[in-house]
A = this chain, B = another copy of it.
């Protein structure tokens, strides 16, 4: 069921090694500079090829940006979501997912920002296909978190009258605060505070 919501790959189509290398580099750069901050020439130079080589592989900057959002989504699923789907318990899986997210953003603290944090606010105000792709990826993540919260409630690990949407919202707020504040302040304190707050929120929803 969950794998229907968020399967590991959502990209059909073939991709050359060059294509993969470019998109991977673009993903890392965009987490720091944003998706508009990418330039085809810079990307080409970093990878030792010509600018028109990059254009030939993608067709346009917009297509490159869309491919980059897609791979960023895949990496997020693979690194944060997939590892916890084998956890059997309801609340156990929820806690594993939350910890997985915190660890993920912790590991990235020195190496630049979060791809989705950087690009969401960048495109928030201007409708485009790239914005739609970013929003779709985020909606997918919202749905996964909600599903796992509902599962914990359904298995009786949280109070049965818990408002799943409200709980998921509060947990997401704390995960995002850890990510943005850690980048801003450069310390591990936000992750620590988010972990404390997560436990407080879960306990007030009936978690042991």
- A106 to B: closest C-beta gap in Å: 16
In the assembled complex, A166 has its CB within 8 A of some CB on chain B: yes
In the assembled complex, A63 has its CB within 8 A of some CB on chain B: no
In the assembled complex, A39 has its CB within 8 A of some CB on chain B: no
- A115 to B: closest C-beta gap in Å: 11
Number of copies: 2
Chain B residue at minimum C-beta to C-beta distance from A170: B197
- A196 to B: closest C-beta gap in Å: 6
Cβ proximity bits A104-138 to B, threshold 8 Å, 1 near / 0 not: 00000000110001101110111000000001001
Residues of A within 8 A of B (CB): 31-34, 36-37, 112-113, 117-118, 120-122, 124-126, 135, 138, 165-166, 169-170, 172-174, 176-177, 180-181, 183-184, 190, 193-194, 196-197, 200, 204
